[in-house]
Amino acid sequence: MSQATRRWWRDRGTATVEFALVAPLLLMLVFGIVDFGRMAAARVELTAAAHAGAQALASRDPNPLAAARAAAPSLTVRQGSATSCPNSPGTGTNARYTAVANFEFITPLAAFIGSGSPSQMQATGAVPCRA
């Protein structure tokens, strides 16, 4: 047996061992990119829903939750807190609406970071009251 053949035979499983060491880290990175990207998009949508709910309160709509749900169709939005406008609003008076939604991880990342799934997110929107 030549020296090159012996070296190849001795190093035969090295690539497999290196891959076994690196693969979990690579998978965690990919899972993180997928789930945190989805979470960022859901956060933007929830913020838009909170703003839509606050706009509905400012215009004296009796159902701001419907406006919030229409602004975030891919989320199940629940109403957190709501502060509507008084009958004669003063300067600087705002209508505030807090929208709450759950976020489900689609990868096993939640188990690795110790977070329970679903995670609850909330966003608050404020719109000046109209006289």
The owner of tokens 């109209």 is 130
- Is residue 131 within 8 A of residue 110, CB to CB? The reply is no
Burial (CB count within 10 angstroms: exposed 0-12, middle 13-18, buried 19+), residue 40: exposed
Provide the pLDDT for residue 8.
61
Q: DSSP letter for 126, please.
A: E
Q: Which of 51, 74, 75 is nearest to 64 (CA)?
A: 51
Query: Does residue 125 surpass a pLDDT of 90?
Result: yes
Average pLDDT taken over every residue of the chain: 87
Terminal alpha carbon distance of the chain: 94
Most confident stretch, 15-19, 91-95, 100-104: 100-104
Predicted structure pTM score: 0.79
The average pLDDT across 102-131 equals 83
**Cβ neighbours of residue 43 closer than 8 Å, sequence gap 6 or more:** 121, 123
Please report the pLDDT score of residue 113 as a whole number: 72
Above pLDDT 70, what percent of the chain?
89
123 pLDDT exceeds 70?
yes
CB proximity list for 55: less than 8 A, separation 6 or greater: 67, 95, 125, 127
The single residue listed with the structure tokens 């939005």 is: 77
Structure tokens at 117: 């799934």
Domains of the chain: 15-128 (3.30.1300)
Give percent above pLDDT 90 in the chain: 52
What's the pLDDT tens digit per position in 18-65? 999 999 999 989 998 999 999 999 999 999 999 999 999 998 888 999
